[in-house]
Amino acid sequence: MADLIIVDDDQALRDMLADSLSMAGHDIRLAGDARELATHLAGRTPELVLLDVSLPGEDGLSIARRLQAQGGIGIGIIMLTAADDVIDRIVGLEIGADDYVVKPFSIAELKARIEAVLRRRRARGDKTVPFGSFTLDLRSWRLLTAGGSDVGLFPTEIDLVAAFATNPGKLLSRDEILKLAPAHGSDPTDRSIDTRIARLRRKLEDNGADADLIETARGNGYIYKGALSR
């Protein structure tokens, strides 16, 4: 599956996550702070780090910024944030974290986010994928306009774009979309997809997309038809 490092100063949480994620097939290493993380990194580079924001000494945001500044080492980062730390979530994404999970979280949600980030990062060896008049860059995980500008989507919105872009003309049920692009929150439902797609449509239309780029199949799900008309 993947080599993961869990960085959190809560030992009980670390141990619980290690047990659950090991059972899912991941190779787990544990760290309580930046110093212990550095020791692990000196041994071998993980594919993904689960990084708590509130750590003793150097905080998670500083660690994430430092890892990104090293450039090219290819470590994925999922930030673990408190429910009221909205600014931390935004800053984490801006400095290059792949995603975030809000505490308290369900193991099911965390596993879904891990799989989504791993799938996203492993696809970066591929080329770009067309999405209507846009281009989905699988290496940088960004959606670009015809002029090359970044549309400015959040990672979960890029997950939705990727789900549709790689399944042109196929009816995707809400359950299928949730598996390909997991929602945030401890109790995501299939109807959460409707809200997320409505927000995505607004952003796409603000950047020149046709209103019917993602078509609603009432009672069944959604179909991306953009590639069929290109």
CATH number at residue 185: 1.10.10.10
Lateral strand order in the sheet of 214-217:
171-172, 221-224, 214-217
Return phi, psi of residue 9, to 5°: -85, -5
Residues 90 and 143 in one domain: no
Residues 139 and 62 in one domain: no
What is the domain-level CATH number for residue 34?
Answer: 3.40.50.2300
Average pLDDT over all residues of the chain: 85
Q: pLDDT band for position 126 (50/70/90)?
A: low
Residues 109 and 148 in one domain: no
Closest CA to 120 of 93, 135, 99, 104: 99
| pLDDT number for residue 73 | 52
CA distance 5 to 24: 14
What's this model's pTM, rounded to 2 decimal places? 0.68
Structural domain ending residue among the three candidates 123, 141, 164: 123
Residues 113 and 133 in one domain: no
From the centroid of its chain, how far is CA 157? 9
CA distance 104 to 209: 37
Amino acid at 204: L
Tell me: pLDDT of 186 over 60: no
Residue 103 lies in domain: 3-123
Residues 165 and 75 in one domain: no
Residues 109 and 43 in one domain: yes
Q: Which residues contact 177 (CB under 8 A, 6 or more apart)?
A: 160, 163, 193, 221, 222
